[in-house]
Structure formats: structure tokens, C-alpha cells
Amino acid sequence: MEKNLLFIKPDAVKRGICGDIISRFERAGFRITAMKFLWLTKAQADRFYPNDKEWLIMLSKKTAEAFTRRGKKFNKVGLAYGRQVKRYLIDYITSGPVLAFVIEGNDAIAVSRKLLGSTDASASAPGTIRGDYCSDSMYAATMEKRANKTLVHAAGNAKEARNQIRLIFGSKQD
């Protein structure tokens, strides 16, 4: 059994769609093992997202891909822009309460990310959470100098999930 940390971000909490989002994971067969509302501080949010070079560059590459899908050029790929996106993300997830929860089940990380859809909601398929509930795009977020509002966070790999679960729930969820 694998675990993953997810949290419903402030805009989705404000919209009142937490129950709809959680039910998607339950209907997919996942068991929820922990859940709590919290309002992350900037320091917690900074520890929450990785600081490694590879992850930061990946953020800028995703933005470049979103621009390419629109036939536009994006010339800021690299570490500096990745750091800027991380600052946008921190501002976004600290703007209100989040509902954090841990799911457990077979292939929890890969399946939860499929249920969510693309981090660029404009590229998310109907039937995914982002495809059904989100109308934002990386392109719009970049042009407006803010985070892409993706509604839900999910850890991307087992190490990230373990670290994020510990940060939010402590070691009792290991």
C-alpha cells in the first residue's frame, strides 16, 4: 500500500468543493487515513515545496510547455524563474486555509495525479478534477504574475509524499 499527501488549496476551500474532491478519491478506492484543516505559514510553505535545482527548473519548463501549446515563446526557462514560481505558489497556498489529507491504496501517487489531471488545467481532460472544476491556465497565471490555481496539491513521488506527510501530520502517518 502506498500513501500520498493531498491538500485542497484555498480557492477550492472557499468555493466549497472539498466534499466533491474528496469523494473522487474515495470512489477510486482510496482510504483516507488522516485529514485536517490548517492555514500554512510562509515558512511551512517554503519547507513544503522542494528547493532542489531540478524541481525548480521543472517548474519553468512546465510554463514553457504551456506557452508552446499556445504557439507562444517563453524565454525564462531556468532556475531563476523556477524560484519565482515557487514564490507565487507560496503566496497562493498561504492565502487561506487548506484541507490536507492522506490517502492510502495501490499506486496512490500515480493514480491520484491522474485523477487530478494536468497541472495546466487548460490541458486537463474532462472527467479529471482540474478538467471539471478549474478554468485557470499556466499561461494566464504567468501573464498575471501569480500561481496557476490548480485547486489540489498531490505529492509527485514517494519521497516527496513522505516528507510532506511528516511536515503536515508528523511521524504518526509513516
Do the Cβ atoms of 99 and 7 come closer than 8 Å? yes
Q: What is the 3-state composition of the chain as percent helix, strand, coil, each rounded to the nearest 5?
A: 55, 15, 30
Question: Which 3 state secondary structure label does DSSP give 103?
Answer: strand
Do the Cβ atoms of 64 and 70 come closer than 8 Å? no
- Determine the Cα–Cα distance for residues 129 and 139; give it in Å rounded to an integer: 19
- For 140, the grid coordinates are 494566464
Give 106's DSSP letter.
Answer: T
Catalytically annotated residues: 153
